[in-house]
Amino acid sequence: MAKYKFFIAGTDTDVGKTLVAQGLLEAAKQRGLSCYGLKPIAAGCESTERGLENQDALRLMHASSVKLSYQQVNPIALKAAIAPHVSAAMENRKLEGHRVVGFCRGAMMTRADLVLVEGAGGWRVPLNSRETLAMLPKDLNLPVILVVGIKLGCINHALLTVEAIIRDGIELAGWVANKIDPDMSQCTDTIDYLRAAIKAPLIGVIPYIKEVVPELLGKHLQIDRIL
């Protein structure tokens, strides 16, 4: 079992959950910690000779020091790049919370110092008509690391997501500010406001990155704040 386990959540889709997960894994490796990341549900997969594969899941595998099979990292691979429950329905499949939890528990039997489980979309992304992906960190007892995409409107999104996490009885271990809008002014003021408003440590600020060099991501994150 892992010594440290976290769920990577986002305030929305495309805010950089995978980028942050990569950075945390790289930072862990630089400290001599064994680590791996999981992406249990991925929509937007491409057909390969090995089957459907998702680029975010492959990025997590590349950044992990403990090597798992693709099926362990991403057991639910969906083709259409839309909401997972809709993508699954297009393939005549149904997402069920207990199966997602079971897949994760099976993969997490592999020992490591740090394990990250990356979510899909925002906090309340549906699995089906009754469940959302928020049940996963709750059932797995995983503290949350929240990725905030710094853009216009992100303060509202971030505070509402934090409220939902706390209301669900889940620990917010920390958060990361990811500058996804290169044209946004007053980034510093926005981050300072969130730093004061969110009662969890700011793990790091990732600048806008046009071309990602995974090995350099760790320098933007203070992983010691969550270990």
The string of pLDDT tens digits covering residues 169-218 is 999 999 999 999 999 989 999 999 999 999 999 999 999 998 889 889 99
Output the pTM of the full model. Answer: 0.96
Which domains are present in the chain? 4-225 (3.40.50.300)
Catalytic residues, by residue number, are: 39
What pairs with residue 51 in β-bridges? 48
Q: What is the pLDDT of residues 48-72, one digit of tens each?
A: 999 999 999 999 999 999 999 999 9
Q: What is the pLDDT of residues 85-128, one digit of tens each?
A: 999 999 999 999 999 999 999 999 999 999 999 999 999 999 99
Q: Taking Cα atoms as reference points, which of 217, 112, 77, 202 lies closest to residue 150?
A: 202
Is residue 119 within 8 A of residue 17, CB to CB? The reply is yes
Q: At a CB cut-off of 8 Å and minimum separation 6, what does 169 contact?
A: 138
